[in-house]
């Protein structure tokens, strides 16, 4: 199999892929933040006064940390100009005007089939995004089948 794709990077698809890949750490941060906010409210209601440090820590965990995680992931993946992707039996290669990266299939931890894209996870919040806008259903199936045959877990978004 050999598939070559030239695509303009879509910030909306990149943001969706980043949110999908970081959903567990974002959820944990939000839950921790809401727990701290709840504790601050309970202490206030009990008559201990407003614990500003607890309140600020809750806001930081519930709001600032998730925003930072997602924005950092999007900034890292976004760039100017078109992206060229080559998908083969050996792996996936991505190139832009600034760089070229090639990954063997065993470098990927999973493939998520999301709306409008395939997201190949590299671990640590890193991913390779393959837009599916110009691909036929057979080509998408071929990429997913090749990934699965190489031991990469395929998940539906």
Give the contacts of 80 (CB within 8 A, at least 6 positions apart): 97
Considering only CA atoms, which of 24, 21, 25, 32 is closest in space to residue 61? 32
Residue boundaries of the structural domains of the chain: 2-9+80-156, 18-76
Between CA 76 and CA 143 the distance in angstroms is 24
Q: Is the pLDDT of residue 147 over 90?
A: yes
Between CA 22 and CA 78 the distance in angstroms is 16
Considering only CA atoms, which of 93, 123, 114, 127 is closest in space to residue 4? 93
Q: Average pLDDT, stretch 10-33?
A: 83
Read off the pLDDT of residues 76-108 as tens digits, 9 standing for 90 and up: 666 666 888 999 999 999 998 888 999 999 999
Q: Higher confidence at residue 61 or residue 11?
A: 61
Give the contacts of 112 (CB within 8 A, at least 6 positions apart): 17, 20, 21, 118, 119, 121, 155, 156, 157
Q: How many CB atoms lie within 10 A of CB 64?
A: 13
Q: What percent of the chain has pLDDT over 90?
A: 40
113, 115, 121, 126 alpha-carbon torsion, rounded to 10°:
180
Q: Higher confidence at residue 6 or residue 87?
A: 87
Going by pLDDT thresholds of 50, 70 and 90, the confidence category of residue 110 is very high
Read off the pLDDT of residues 123-135 as tens digits, 9 standing for 90 and up: 877 888 888 888 8
Q: Is the pLDDT of residue 23 over 90?
A: no
Share the mean pLDDT of the chain. Answer: 86
Domain 2-9+80-156 has CATH 1.10.3720.10: no
Q: Where does residue 151 fall: left (phi above 0), alpha (psi -120 to 50 degrees), or beta otherwise?
A: left
């Amino acid at each position: 199999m050999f598939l070559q794709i030239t695509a303009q990077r879509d910030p909306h698809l990149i943001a969706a892929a980043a949110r999908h890949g970081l959903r567990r750490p974002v959820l944990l941060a939000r839950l921790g933040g809401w727990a701290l906010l709840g504790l601050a409210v309970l202490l206030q209601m009990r008559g201990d006064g407003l614990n500003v440090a607890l309140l600020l820590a809750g806001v930081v965990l519930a709001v600032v940390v998730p925003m930072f995680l997602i924005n950092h992931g999007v900034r890292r993946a976004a760039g100017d100009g078109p992206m060229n992707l080559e998908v083969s039996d050996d792996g996936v290669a991505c190139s832009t005007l600034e760089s070229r990266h090639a990954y063997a299939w065993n470098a990927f931890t999973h493939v998520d089939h999301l709306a409008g894209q395939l997201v190949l996870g590299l671990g640590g919040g890193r991913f390779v995004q393959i837009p599916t806008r110009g691909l036929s259903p057979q080509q998408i199936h071929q990429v997913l089948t090749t990934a699965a045959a190489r031991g990469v877990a395929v998940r539906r978004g």
